[in-house]
A and B are shown apart, each in its own frame.
Chain A
Amino acid sequence: MRVPILKLHEYLLISIQVELDDKTALQFQEDLLSKIHDTGAKGIVIDLTSVDMVDSFIAKVLGDVVKMSNLMGARVVLTGIQPPVAITLIDLGINMRDVPTALDLEQGLDKLQQDLEG
């Protein structure tokens, strides 16, 4: 199973709609970094609207891919985190403090645009 990564001008858009097992999550991490390398994308939105559970492992993979992308000169925004996911992450003690987030895809793209122009 692979997570599709779509290119839109200088952005990459990802909507995670599969059940993320460990291997799929790590494969996604690698795929995204290759795609950044190949396309020179500057901004990335990872949309989690369809994700109903984020455990500590998935949170770590997502947090890491944000940092890795930053190292390659790209900005990442996580969007669409559902209320139950936000609640369980904080219960678990994971705050993802350094990870940029936005309510939805639209606001995520706005945020990236501001960051890239600013």
Chain B
Amino acid sequence: MAIQSCVDVRNEWDIVSARQLGRDLAKDLGFSSVDQARITTAISELARNIYLYAGNGRICIEPIEEGNRRGLRIIANDTGPGIQDIRKVMEDGYTTSGGLGAGLPGVKRLMDEFAIHSTVDVGTEIHITKWLR
């Protein structure tokens, strides 16, 4: 019954479309205005990473249920250059773009769950989840 909605990210406008989709779904699910802002911002950061580093990729968003918990899962994947050293990109303040993105540690703090898989020359996939409180 969970329906996945996706946005292809190729240009700056797609970043806006991805976060608008996230905001609409978060609102429908009944997230508070603060959590809506967290989810929307996290999507914006991941979409910008795709645009900046991979050139193109995709953001998919789906409502999820686990036991009696409900939440929203966001999957960002790209077929870009991949990340050489994941430990390094998870350090606060690390940047290769001169600080254009807040980076992945910020996204992790905004959400409840965060997982990243990346293979050099293959691409990167990031899963983030926020649970309804």
Is there contact, CB below 8 Å, between A52 and B37? Answer: yes
Interchain CB contact (< 8 A) of B37 among A60, A85, A93, A94:
A85
Is there contact, CB below 8 Å, between B102 and A55? Answer: yes
Number of chain B residues whose Cβ lies closer than 8 Å to a Cβ of chain A: 28
A3 partner residues in chain B, CB cutoff 8 A: none
Query: Given A55-B102, A57-B100, are A22 and B15 also a contact pair (CB < 8 Å)?
Result: yes
Is there contact, CB below 8 Å, between B38 and A91? Answer: yes
Tell me if A54 is interfacial: C-beta within 8 Å of chain B.
Answer: yes
A87 partner residues in chain B, CB cutoff 8 A: 34, 37-38
Tell me if A70 is interfacial: C-beta within 8 Å of chain B.
Answer: no
Tell me if B106 is interfacial: C-beta within 8 Å of chain A.
Answer: yes
Tell me if A40 is interfacial: C-beta within 8 Å of chain B.
Answer: no
Query: Given A84-B33, A92-B109, A92-B110, are A55 and B41 also a contact pair (CB < 8 Å)?
Result: yes
Residues of B91-110 whose CB lies within 8 A of A: 92, 99-103, 105-107, 109-110
Query: Which has the most chain B C-beta neighbours within 10 Å: A19, A60, A92?
Result: A92
Is there contact, CB below 8 Å, between B106 and A19? Answer: no
Is there contact, CB below 8 Å, between B102 and A93? Answer: yes
Tell me if A53 is interfacial: C-beta within 8 Å of chain B.
Answer: yes
What's the Cα separation between A83 and B15 when bound, in Å?
A: 23
Is there contact, CB below 8 Å, between A88 and B101? Answer: no
Tell me if A23 is interfacial: C-beta within 8 Å of chain B.
Answer: yes
- The secondary structure that dominates the A interface is helix
Is there contact, CB below 8 Å, between B102 and A53? Answer: no
B102 partner residues in chain A, CB cutoff 8 A: 55-56, 59, 92-94
A38 partner residues in chain B, CB cutoff 8 A: none
Tell me if A21 is interfacial: C-beta within 8 Å of chain B.
Answer: yes
A52 partner residues in chain B, CB cutoff 8 A: 23, 33, 36-37, 40
Nearest CB to that of A92 among chain B residues? B106
Is there contact, CB below 8 Å, between A93 and B110? Answer: no
| A→B interface (CB under 8 Å) | 19, 21-23, 52-57, 59-60, 83-85, 87-88, 91-94
| B→A interface (CB under 8 Å) | 12-13, 15-16, 19-20, 23, 33-34, 36-38, 40-41, 44-45, 48, 92, 99-103, 105-107, 109-110
A-B contact pairs, 15 of them (CB 8 A): A22-B15, A52-B37, A52-B40, A53-B41, A53-B44, A55-B48, A56-B99, A56-B101, A87-B37, A88-B37, A92-B45, A92-B106, A92-B110, A93-B103, A94-B106
